Amino acid sequence: MVRRVVSIKDVAKQAGVSTATVSNVFNGTKPVSADLAKRVREAAEELRYEVNRAASHLRSGRTRVVTILVPDLSDPFFISIITEVESLARLSGYEIIVGNSADDADIEESRLNALMAWQPAGMIVVPCTDTIPARLVANKNEIPFVLVDRVGDATIADSIVIDNEDGGAIAAKHLSEIGHRDVLMVASDMGLLPIRQRISGAQKEIKQFGGVARLVEVGPEPTQASKTLECWMARNRLPTAIFALTTMTTLATLTCLAKRRMQIPENVSLVGFDDYPWMRARRTALTAVGQPSVEISRAAWDRLTVRMDGEQGEPRATVLTCTLEIRDSTLPIEVPDSLENATDGGGRGKVRRRRNGIQPAVGKDGTGVEKRGRKRPGQGGSRKTKRTPAFRVSE
């Protein structure tokens, strides 16, 4: 037997309210008290009521749909943005539709065309390059949108980014302060402004301490990136520390080091970018620069909401700060009288570091042999410093 379609009148009767109240609860057209909204939603759930979005659109002339376009659905950072925005949208009575540009400008154009065909109330877009898609710019007066993360021009629309230069600086400063003077930065794509900014911030800090900042570009895909990094390591002097500039390059670096049987931090210290639970769940928890993904998502949703409600005015650029979580993957080293002596002949044999009573002897091939000694009082555990996320807004 075919189940009868439950109507808005049925929900109103069940909840003991008017049909207008039910409409307001699900469409967000007017505020409804928490008690009434709860009664309506409970009645709707009991009756298995489903909102007819198409009919709602025809009546109001406006959809309750927001679309999101990201460059890579395999990247945990973009997934965290989508997840948080979806939660916020649901609370406001919106549905979301997600598109993936696969870090390809042609695919990005195709996905934009498909998403805009839904006539969404608004869009949140992470471009796949520094260039804002022409289709977005051409339709900015018809469909409000907010740019996130990769923003080459903050004068086109509201944008939410992090202070990438500071993110690179706090990681490099930490490594420099604990003695590292030979740091390798592992970049995904130097064609992206956020990556270049992180590199710039790190280079300035390392230079201030008299260190050497080296750089390798490995691409965004972890498997291939790991192979590229492995080739680089086979042909170059090994660093005392590595700073991976994205989540994906952090994964690639871990894979590479595992293949080379290099221990963290005994053979090399490591700082990752983005801070996720798996980084803390490792036997050697990773020191990492954390992006405030929840704050990014909320700021993006807040700006999109006011634009969808009709606010005009010049684009607003919101900049958030990162945090540095210091854990076991970075280890202080004794800096020799000269960096050249420490790395003579392509190895780091003269560099000695201690961790929990273990003094590794590092050979030119980067492998380590543990020499066990007595554990010094107070050693072990993780260290943690944190910068409170804050807004810096320029209008």
- What pTM value is reported for the model? 0.73
CA distance 353 to 375: 13
Phi and psi, residue 62, nearest 5°: -140, 130
The per-residue pLDDT for 139 is 85
- Residue 184 tokens read as 């390798």
Residue type, 127: P
What domains are defined for the chain?
Answer: 8-51 (1.10.260.40), 65-163+293-321 (3.40.50.2300), 166-284+324-339+378-386 (3.40.50.2300)
The per-residue pLDDT for 385 is 45
Beta bridge partners, 147, equal 125, 159
Rounded (5°) CA angle 251-257-260: 145
Q: Give the confidence band of 50 by pLDDT, cuts at 50, 70, 90.
A: confident
Residue type, 338: S
The per-residue pLDDT for 304 is 96
The per-residue pLDDT for 141 is 85
Q: For residue 394, is pLDDT > 80?
A: no
Regarding beta strands 317-320 and 391-394, do their DSSP bridges make them parallel or antiparallel, or are they unpaired?
antiparallel
The per-residue pLDDT for 27 is 67
Q: Could you report the per-residue pLDDT of 240-296, keeping only the tens digit for each?
A: 999 999 999 999 999 999 999 999 999 999 999 999 999 999 999 999 999 999 999
Q: How far is CA 283 from CA 18, 27, 206, 252, in A?
A: 58, 48, 28, 18
More confident residue, 263 or 44: 263
The per-residue pLDDT for 353 is 37
Mean pLDDT of the chain: 84
Q: Which of 6-15, 127-136, 190-199, 352-361 has the highest mean pLDDT?
A: 190-199
Q: Picking from 71-80, 236-245, 368-377, which range would have the lowest pLDDT averaged per residue?
A: 368-377
Q: Give the confidence band of 306 by pLDDT, cuts at 50, 70, 90.
A: very high
Q: Is 243 exposed, middle or buried (CB count within 10 Å of its CB: 0-12, 13-18, 19+)?
A: buried
In eight-state DSSP terms, residue 141 is T
Q: For residue 377, is pLDDT > 90?
A: no
Q: Give the confidence band of 342 by pLDDT, cuts at 50, 70, 90.
A: very low
**Do residues 246 and 217 touch, judged by C-beta distance below 8 A?**
no
Q: Could you report the per-residue pLDDT of 75-110, keeping only the tens digit for each?
A: 999 999 999 999 999 988 899 999 999 999 999 999
Residue type, 155: T
**Do residues 334 and 351 touch, judged by C-beta distance below 8 A?**
yes
Q: Could you report the per-residue pLDDT of 170-229, keeping only the tens digit for each?
A: 999 999 999 999 999 999 999 999 999 999 999 999 999 999 999 999 999 999 999 999
Phi and psi, residue 389, nearest 5°: -55, 135
Cα dihedral angle (147, 151, 153, 157), rounded to 10 degrees?
Answer: 10
- DSSP per-residue codes, 146-180: EEES--S-TTSSEEEEE-HHHHHHHHHHHHHHTT-
Selection from 363, 175, 171, 382 nearest residue 267 by Cα:
363
Q: Which residue bears the tokens 């009868």?
A: 4
Q: Picking from 16-30, 257-271, 373-387, which range would have the lowest pLDDT averaged per residue?
A: 373-387
CA distance 95 to 304: 14
Q: Picking from 14-18, 23-27, 89-93, 130-134, which range would have the lowest pLDDT averaged per residue?
A: 23-27
**Do residues 80 and 292 touch, judged by C-beta distance below 8 A?**
no
